Amino acid sequence: MGACQSFREMCDREKNTNVHLSLPAVCIVWQTAMIILFGVFMRYDHESDAHWVEHRKHLNLTDIENDFYFRYPSFQDVHVMIFVGFGFLMTFLKRYSFGGVGFNFLIAAFGLQWALLMQGWFHWLDADGKIRIGIENLINADFCVAGCLIAYGALLGKVSPVQLMVLTLFGITLFAVEEFIILSVIHARDAGGSMVIHTFGGYYGLSVSWMLYRPNLHQSSRLQGSVYHSDVFAMIGTLFLWMFWPSFNSAICDHGDGQHRAAINTYLCLASTVLTTVAISSLFQKHGKLDMVHIQNSTLAGGVAAGTAAEFMLMPYGCLIVGFCCGIISTLGYIFLTPFMEKHLKIQDTCGIHNLHAMPGVVGGIVGAITAASASVEVYGHEGLANTFDFEGKFKDMVPTTQGGHQAAGLCVALCFGIGGGIIVGAILRLPIWGDPADDNCFDDETYWEVPEEEESIPTILQYNNHVQNKDIAESNFTMESESRARS
Amino acid sequence: MGACQSFREMCDREKNTNVHLSLPAVCIVWQTAMIILFGVFMRYDHESDAHWVEHRKHLNLTDIENDFYFRYPSFQDVHVMIFVGFGFLMTFLKRYSFGGVGFNFLIAAFGLQWALLMQGWFHWLDADGKIRIGIENLINADFCVAGCLIAYGALLGKVSPVQLMVLTLFGITLFAVEEFIILSVIHARDAGGSMVIHTFGGYYGLSVSWMLYRPNLHQSSRLQGSVYHSDVFAMIGTLFLWMFWPSFNSAICDHGDGQHRAAINTYLCLASTVLTTVAISSLFQKHGKLDMVHIQNSTLAGGVAAGTAAEFMLMPYGCLIVGFCCGIISTLGYIFLTPFMEKHLKIQDTCGIHNLHAMPGVVGGIVGAITAASASVEVYGHEGLANTFDFEGKFKDMVPTTQGGHQAAGLCVALCFGIGGGIIVGAILRLPIWGDPADDNCFDDETYWEVPEEEESIPTILQYNNHVQNKDIAESNFTMESESRARS
Amino acid sequence: MGACQSFREMCDREKNTNVHLSLPAVCIVWQTAMIILFGVFMRYDHESDAHWVEHRKHLNLTDIENDFYFRYPSFQDVHVMIFVGFGFLMTFLKRYSFGGVGFNFLIAAFGLQWALLMQGWFHWLDADGKIRIGIENLINADFCVAGCLIAYGALLGKVSPVQLMVLTLFGITLFAVEEFIILSVIHARDAGGSMVIHTFGGYYGLSVSWMLYRPNLHQSSRLQGSVYHSDVFAMIGTLFLWMFWPSFNSAICDHGDGQHRAAINTYLCLASTVLTTVAISSLFQKHGKLDMVHIQNSTLAGGVAAGTAAEFMLMPYGCLIVGFCCGIISTLGYIFLTPFMEKHLKIQDTCGIHNLHAMPGVVGGIVGAITAASASVEVYGHEGLANTFDFEGKFKDMVPTTQGGHQAAGLCVALCFGIGGGIIVGAILRLPIWGDPADDNCFDDETYWEVPEEEESIPTILQYNNHVQNKDIAESNFTMESESRARS
């Protein structure tokens, strides 16, 4: 910790938020690298290649059995979650809506390209050294990006776009390795990514945030809240996440009953979460008033927790129970844990991703392990069991109880990669070269965006007032200007 | 009316809007009840159960013929209509956007669970006493919830969340009974729910509103309007409802031509409605200016009216005619009928659901009856006729003219359930135990939500002004504060 | 040009923005005409008619092979792009959000009806003189409307709703003729409409704007910008366009690999565009700050340019290259070309459609020609080549190189129709009968909308101030009022 302390001091220099050269350079160079790597490695798969006509006749398939029609509607829903869901959920701050939705857009657009490559190398490499992509790869790339966007939630308002690009580059890389280990080596199942996406992404972001701890962040506290309309904008994000979560958890499930069941499970889990979130929010506020932060975030915890077990026979009541618990845990997290972590653990978590992703992700991993361990032939049927848990190839002799253990092992891997990776990447992001904002400049779009000027009328009154009487006005003038910026 | 009057007096006590215990209690207890009931009754159906692999081989089906792929895209669109469509349509009030979108979220999440049970008991109960659910049940549950959200539209800003939960509990119950009578007993067809959803929901809400009449509601009139940006938020709701209405009306239609035709019919009907809404809105405003209230609401009336006949051979020009009329009727309703009802019938209808749902719903029921009665083998084909009107089983000898009569009977049942149910539930909601707001406290999120504080600068000027000269300021100070709250 | 000058003078009379009679008349009469024409011409096609049950048995198809299931999810995404995407993209002006989203709604709803007829007459007329419509026609109608909405982007805030209706009537007509020539006569391929939709629509709008040049538009310059929240609203439009563009470009592609490949290509192209847009935006702004105008618009240029070649074997790296270039070109267009065009070419382009649609559309046409010309049997396979380029019927002997030439010819036709049509329609719209706003009244919703009154508190301070001291206040009072209107 002593070394860490001195490292921190080394990094705390005068801040320069000018990204005039670094941001364009990163974008152009990395995009060029993508083009070269795509040129070398990336090709269409059987179902998206023009040879499909011949291929499908060979396999005696009709056009509608192209994987596109199984997965495209879910893909589009996932896509909406990534860009509108995550993006608008982060518009809640009064003066960081541009950064919330805009940087989310930037890093997701970069991340999905890098994810296609990384996941391609691990999972989709053909004998000729080419990656063959189809609709399922696009969904997986979006999933991979989600992990990094979750991490962004912890850092919202405190980092520069260049830092976010670096965070994403390393985040995607770590994700792809972790996912390979969990899904392919350990053979854990994780259709909706409770472990792979949410646990990893959550702890990755929290660890980075811990490394980037700002003791004087209170200097920006005037901007670290919402205004009325920014809360309504954030509800757009919340609702699109909530509504499309059944698509998220079912998008890459098995054709047929797998996708069908995952959608139903997630739908039920989320419904239940809303009620307990409202209950706890009302119970712990003065006069039973509801807090928008809880409604915006904790209502989604059920979707996170339903991820791993989405495809399993969790049963409708099981889903409701999972949602019930997650609504409570997540809301209590916002009320008690987030302030505690900021004060005592030096983890500043702008969006409360610990309560929305990290904890419910762990819950989801545990639920998945239990559900897998208790699977039986009576409930799934012989073929159903093999199908759902993918007991084939070298895993064809596995039994549900063993699978439960593998699930638990997968959760540990996700935790380790999240925390370990976050600390390393956090150390890199502390280097004083990334253009991050000063402590009194956080949560402010002015730093990285051309913000439209508001009409000049309020200052005009003040000038008039100054003209009338010129004392005591300095302070009022100051608040006036900040008001003028915060308005609209 | 005398008894009603004295009952009213009994209920008009001092208001206590503290829902500190009642709201959490209702949420937790009811959600627990849902878990127990789901545990006892709810199972997966053939297509979402893990036995599907064996089941489909038995029936010689491919995976893509799982009902999931027929209905999931429509389901997701309906889901968006319920949560974003209805939710954001109700954000138009300047200071009730949290309540509009937030309470909509709460009651929809509860309602869909209760609807799965209620509809399950009536329509999907297996021989072993279990309800088997699949994607179609999820759509039906969303439909059922829509009826209650329509009713909420009439009460927006005037009731507590606890009252809304009660309204939903009884609303879903009434809906399920009414739906069973109309669809199963009477054998009326109502794919898009003009009668079952919109007529019922509309008159249910209006009757409750009549029972909850507030003679002094003008005390909140300063908040009973929109501001510029809240009108733009409401357009999000309008457009998602408008765009996805073809999915709503086609979601549970027959596979193949049924869903296809319902989508086309609704699309055309809605397009036509927009033009007549604009025409009437412009014609009756000073200088031909358009009124956002009409654009936000009346443009949707065509979708409501296309509900019952959506699956029938309404013909493209028939759709345009229905839309044409509904745009006119609905807009005239906003201009003339809503003020009349408030003044003379003591029905306060915040969102104008009478013009958007109730009247167009009745029109839809009538259009459905006429279209059904005039159906012929020439137009539908032998199989098509039996298929579209479900002339099978004990109804296999029915003819179109009889079907027309049954449709009309269905409409009457919907009206009776709506009005009768609304009066009874309204009486229950008048009990002084539900924490509803006082007359001068309506349409204000402050009552049930933690509302973010605005920046404190404008009052600062006033304090300064007070310092300069201390008279005549009281009134200005008052308006200033309300301005400070309304801003953002 | 002399004649044009005198024509301009003739038209520059006192403005009367009262559309009290003209707007309702246009809406009612045109909608009635639609009903009559639909009655005469419009019928359901095989797949949406009730005879489908018999038809599909005859063809040995299952229900899921109804075209509805191939295209409906994409159709709904396209529908969202038309109404929410285009609509909200145009809400960025501080006081023209109602007009942006509202008039977009109006002209799209009219346009799609007229498009169904026009495209039907050219492409879908049966032997019995009837147009048979199905889901593909709905998508095509939405596409056709997109051309007119693009044109609206150049005119945003400067025209009356009546002018927009006229613009749409002629725009759809021109579009249908142009599309028939390009697709059916010349046999160019244009799945995503780079040429047919974007090039045509872009130059159509720019030519109209040139004809409607307002030398004194600076009188409205106070309103020709955004405020903080209007920029966030516009991001809703941007993101829904960006996310659903893969559906736009794949919606009417061939079943199977065609739709699959088009979605992948567009997805990649758009991802790449975001990075170069951010790079260029940052590089050319002071301190490297990002400009919301670029993020809102230029990020979409890749989708436009991927249109023509979407279905071709553009290869993943090819898509990234196209996107890379378009992001640069489009952003540079906003920085340098738009001001140049306004100053030197007398083209006022409110939304910068030249950079978002016109230029990228031309790029897309060129990319399409090159990709088509370089197609080979090795890459596509024999059947794939015939299938992708539709080398059948009278075109069955065509070869890729010829096809490349035809593509280039198609691009020229689109340009000619856009520019020529725009000049003619612009001349019509200059007639002083359409109720367009005066130069100092542009970009202001007050002209055509009932705008909600803001709270009256700021003027109250001023009155108070006036009471205290009555000089120097006139100017302050003036700015105050405009502020009061612009706020919220």
Digit-coded pLDDT (tens) for C299-315: 999 999 999 999 999 99
pLDDT at C397 over 90: no
Mean pLDDT of chain A: 87
Question: Is B279's CB within 8 Å of C83's CB?
Answer: no
Give tens-digit pLDDT for C322-344. 999 999 999 999 999 999 998 89
Residue range A431-447: mean pLDDT, rounded = 87
- Of the candidates C199, C197, C176, the one whose C-alpha atom is nearest the C-alpha of residue C415 is C199
Give the CB-side neighbour count of residue C424, counting CA atoms within 13 A.
Answer: 10
Rounded to whole angstroms, the Cα distance separating C67 from C48 reads 9
Across A451-465, average pLDDT: 51
Joined together, the tokens standing for residue B112 give 């869909």
- Contact check, Cβ <8 Å, C44/B313: yes
Q: Which of A232, A285, A461 sits opposite B91 (nearest CB)?
A: A232
Residue A484, pLDDT score? 39
CB contact under 8 A, C53 and B257: yes
Q: The tokens of C339 are what?
A: 């001001």
Do the chains contact at B109 and A236, CB–CB below 8 Å?
no
Give me the residue label for tokens 């539908």: B380
**Closest-approach residue (CA) in chain A for B48:** A257
Q: Which residues on A lie below 8 Å from B101 (Cβ)?
A: 232, 235, 239
A488/C488 touch (CB, cutoff 8 Å), yes or no: yes
Strands A131-133, C42-44: pairing is unpaired
Pairs across A and B, CB distance < 8 A: 264
User: Which residue of B282, B300, B312 to mutate against C (max C Cβ within 10 Å)?
Assistant: B282
Residue contact B460–A473, C-beta within 8 A: no
The residues near A47 (Cβ < 8 Å, ≥ 6 apart) are: A55, A66, A67, A68, A134, A135, C256, C257, C260
Contact C54 B320 (CB under 8 A): no
Whether the per-residue pLDDT at C473 is higher than 80: the answer is no
Instruction: Give me the residue from A66, A83, A450 closest to C292, CB to CB.
Output: A450
| CB contacts, 8 Å: B482 with chain C | 455, 457
Tell if the CB–CB gap between A292 and B102 is shorter than 8 Å.
yes
Residue whose structure tokens are 């606890």: B162
Does residue B37 register a pLDDT over 80? Answer: yes
Interface test mutation site (partner C, options B274, B315, B325, B477, max chain C beta carbons within 10 A): B274
Output the pLDDT for position B299.
Answer: 95
Q: Does residue A119 contact residue A137 with C-beta atoms inside 8 Å?
A: yes
Tokens 């301005």 identify what position? B483
State what percent of residues in chain C have pLDDT above 70: 90
Q: What is the pLDDT of residue B282?
A: 93
The beta-carbon neighbor of A479 closest among B27, B42, B457 is B457
SS3 state of residue C125: strand
Tokens matching residue A279: 């209950």
For A337-380, what is each residue's pLDDT tens digit?
999 998 899 999 999 999 999 999 999 999 999 999 999 999 99
User: What is the average per-residue pLDDT within B40-60?
Assistant: 91
Put simply, the answer to whether A324 touches B20 (Cβ < 8 Å) is no
Residues C282, A454: C-beta atoms closer than 8 Å: no
CA distances from B443 to B208, B351, B486 (A): 17, 12, 12
Report the distance separating Cα B71 and Cα A129, nearest Å: 39
CA distances from B100 to A238, B96, B444 (A): 15, 6, 11
Question: Which of residues B325 and C440 earns the better pLDDT score?
Answer: B325
Rounded to a whole number of angstroms, the distance from the CA of A172 to the nearest CA of chain B is: 29
Mean pLDDT of chain B: 87
Which helix (H) or strand (E) covers residue B432, if one does? Answer: none
Write the CB contacts of B147 (distance below 8 Å, at least 6 apart in sequence).
Answer: B171, B172, B175, B193, B196, B197, B198, B200, B201, B204
Q: Residue C390 — very low, low, confident or very high, per pLDDT cuts 50/70/90?
A: confident
Predicted pLDDT at A473: 37
Interface test with chain B among C45, C71, C76, C130, by most B beta carbons within 10 Å: C76
Q: Quick one: pLDDT at residue B463?
A: 39
Phi then psi for A16, rounded to 5 degrees? -125, 110
> Quick count: other Cβ atoms within 10 Å of Cβ A438?
15
- A178's tokens: 């972790």
Q: In this predicted model, what pLDDT tens digit does every residue of C64-98 receive, in sequence order? A: 989 999 999 999 999 999 999 999 999 999 999 99
For all residues of chain C together, what is the average pLDDT?
A: 87
Residue A205: its pLDDT value, please?
95
Residue of A477, B466, B459 whose CA lies nearest to C465: B466
pLDDT of residue B1: 45
Looking at chain A, how many residues does it have? 488
Q: Is the Cβ pair A263, B38 closer than 8 Å?
A: no
Contact C270, C303 (CB under 8 A): yes
Q: What confidence category does residue B488 fall into, taking pLDDT thresholds of 50, 70 and 90? A: very low
Residue A96 — φ and ψ, nearest 5°? -135, 25
> Of A259, A321, A381, which has the smallest distance from its Cβ to B54's Cβ?
A381
Asked if A220 and A371 touch (Cβ cutoff 8 Å), the reply is: no
Residue A396 has pLDDT above 90, yes or no: no
Q: What is the pLDDT of residues B274-315, one digit of tens each?
A: 999 999 999 998 788 999 999 999 999 999 999 999 999 999
Among A65-74, A255-264, A462-471, B274-283, the least confident range: A462-471
Chains in contact with A, where contact requires at least 3 CB pairs less than 8 Å apart: B, C
* Contact across the interface for C276 and A68, Cβ inside 8 Å: no
Measured between beta carbons, the chain A residues lying within 8 angstroms of C282 are: 19-20, 23-24, 27
Helix or strand holding residue B291 (H, E): strand B290-291
Category of C346 on φ-ψ map: left (φ > 0), alpha (ψ -120 to 50) or beta:
left
Taking only the tens place, the pLDDT of each residue in A90-148 is 999 999 999 999 999 999 999 999 999 999 999 988 889 999 999 999 999 999 999 99
pLDDT tens profile B158-185: 999 999 999 999 999 999 999 999 999 9
Which pLDDT value is given to residue C383? Answer: 87
Rounded percentage of chain C residues whose pLDDT exceeds 90: 70
CB spacing of B274 vs C105 below 8 angstroms: yes
- In this structure, the number of other CB atoms found within 10 A of the CB of residue C480 comes to 21
Q: Select from B371, B230, B209 the least CA-distant residue to B296.
A: B230
B352 backbone φψ class: left, alpha, beta (φ>0; ψ -120 to 50): left
- Is the pLDDT at B6 greater than 80? The verdict is no
Comparing A124-133, A410-419, C150-159, C385-394, the range with the smallest average pLDDT is C385-394
Strand partners, A290: B449
Mutation test of the interface with chain C: which of A15, A21, A22, A23, choosing the one with the most C Cβ atoms within 10 A?
A: A23
Task: Return d(Cα A324, Cα A317) in angstroms, integer.
Answer: 10
Q: Quote ipTM for the complex.
A: 0.89
Nearest to B454 by CA among C455, C226, C450: C455
Which domains are present in chain B? 2-447 (1.10.3430.10), 460-486 (no CATH)
The model's confidence at residue B459, banded by pLDDT at 50, 70 and 90, is very low
For residue B78, pLDDT beyond 80: yes
**What is the model's pLDDT at position C14?**
53
**Interchain contact, C243 vs A451, CB within 8 Å:** no
Category of A346 on φ-ψ map: left (φ > 0), alpha (ψ -120 to 50) or beta: left
> CA-to-CA distance for A154 and A243, rounded, in angstroms?
23
Taking CA–CA distances from A476, the nearest residue in chain B reads B460
* Between residues C481 and A311, the one the model is more confident about: A311
φ, ψ at A133 (rounded to 5°) = -110, 150
**What DSSP designation does C218 have?**
G
Residue A413: other Cβ atoms inside 10 A:
21
For residue A5, name the pLDDT band (cuts at 50, 70, 90): low
Please give the Cα distance from C149 to C171 (Å, whole number): 10
Q: How far apart are CA B296 and CA C449, in angstroms?
A: 13
What is the pLDDT, as a whole number, of residue B397?
83
Backbone φ, ψ for residue A14 (5° rounding): -55, 135
Å from B21 to nearest chain C CA?
Answer: 35
At residue A7, the pLDDT reads: 52
How is residue A329 written in tokens?
Answer: 């845990």
Q: Which two tokens stand for residue C235?
A: 């991001």
With 80 as the cut, is the pLDDT of residue C272 above it? Answer: yes
